Amino acid sequence: MATRMNQPEAKPWINAIHAYTPGKAKSDDGRVLIKLSANENPLGCSPDATAALVATQTSLARYPDPASTALREALGGHYGLESDQIVCGTGSDELLNLAAMGYAGAGDEIIYVRYGFSVYDIAARKCAATVVVAPDKDYGTDVDALLALVNDKTRVVFVANPNNPTGTYATDDEIARLHAGLPAQCLLVLDQAYGEYLDNDGPASFDLARRHGNILITRTFSKIYGLAAERIGWAYGQPHLIETMNRIRAPFNVTAAGQAAAIAALGDAEFVSKSREYNRIGREWMAGEIAGLSNHGLKAVPSWANFLMVMFEGAVSAETAYKGLMDAGYIVRWLPGQGLGNGLRITIGTEDENRGVVDALRMIVEPHS
């Protein structure tokens, strides 16, 4: 006889999910902190995007364009892509979830790299797929280790490039080698949330996705474009992949204001290059400062993104430093749940914020200086 429950019972694979932990903005006792925990753009967003959002002419009573047509056309023009091979999403988060849902289910396997983006684990478990975690190489993607885990049950491989939370980068050649080793029925999702921070912003991977039917590239307006509040992401791939995503996405998944802001943001190339350069200078400066603390066991993983993963291998633990930074007014990211209990991810902020967080860190590891 079936057991009778006195309340609805979630499916066991849903109960196995650890809900996403967002970067905090306040201390445990409620103080507002300088937020270096969510990889947001410290310069904000393009003033053109703000103006477009404010000027959105559509009535609030009207649904937005369900197909985000004007935004897809703007993206196509900007990146030289076929706009009908683009789908927009409620952040790239929605698109990552749809990619798993569209191509994997119970009995199938989804692979991601250890220290990969935490959403992949949630996306995979949500559709009852089996999660397979590939070992890393120096906190980054190890193509050979990943390929060694591929079998005839593998349906989706998630790779963030550059990777969050470690900032590592796999070259175009490495990605092409990864793709070449995958069977044609296995979907490679290349998550390029930080692609715009690279000097050479991704033409090789777009080209790979144009030529092969098992690559989906995801992008976001949340990072360099500084529009995280509006939730706008997009994906590019061959038509059959985009059809799947369109079949299962939420019908009105990008707001009218979000579509307008994103189009305007795309048009302000100057803001993007200024943000990239500002980030590069801040990141190089902070990496240099961390290198100066190597005698205290601090070591930054080389980063291609807008944050640094700092490992603590000396007397002061990452947890102690995390709490000390919070006392000093800075919130960074400590990720023990992802196996990174010995590291802190620090978003590159404004010049003042960078200086402040490094000074506070120095006080923590060199209390007597």
Is 191 a residue that touches ligand PLP (CB under 6 A)? yes
13, 94, 110, 307, 325 from 97: Cα distances, Å? 15, 5, 12, 24, 34
Is 361 a residue that touches ligand PLP (CB under 6 A)? no
CB of 94 to ligand PLP, least distance (A): 7
Q: Which residue is nearest to ligand PLP (CB)?
A: 91
Question: By C-alpha distance, which of 339, 342, 295 is closest to 318?
Answer: 342
Out of 37, 85, 92, 141, the residue judged to bind ligand PLP by CB under 6 A: 92
Out of 79, 112, 117, 206, the residue judged to bind ligand PLP by CB under 6 A: 117
Out of 42, 64, 91, 102, the residue judged to bind ligand PLP by CB under 6 A: 91
CB of 117 to ligand PLP, least distance (A): 4
Which CB, 283 or 296, lies closer to ligand PLP?
283
Asked if 111 contacts 133 with a C-beta cutoff of 8 angstroms, the reply is yes
Which CB, 175 or 364, lies closer to ligand PLP?
175
Residue 87: φ, ψ to 5°: -130, 140
The residue written with tokens 């990969």 in the block is: 116
Residues 220-279 touching ligand PLP, rule: CB under 6 A, are 220, 222-223, 228, 233
CB-based contacts of 288: which residues, under 8 Å, 6+ apart? none
Which listed range, 25-33, 56-64, 85-93, 347-355, lies at the site for ligand PLP (CB under 6 A)? 85-93
3-state SS class at 260:
helix
Q: What distance in Å separates the CA atoms of residue 35 and residue 307, rounded to the nearest whole number?
A: 12
Paired tokens of 307: 């944050």
CB of 316 to ligand PLP, least distance (A): 27
Q: What is the separation, in whole angstroms, between the first and last Cα of the chain?
A: 71
Is 164 a residue that touches ligand PLP (CB under 6 A)? yes
3-state SS class at 334:
strand
Q: How many residues lie near ligand PLP (CB under 6 A)?
A: 14
Binding site for ligand PLP (CB under 6 A): 39, 91-93, 117, 160, 164, 191, 193, 220, 222-223, 228, 233
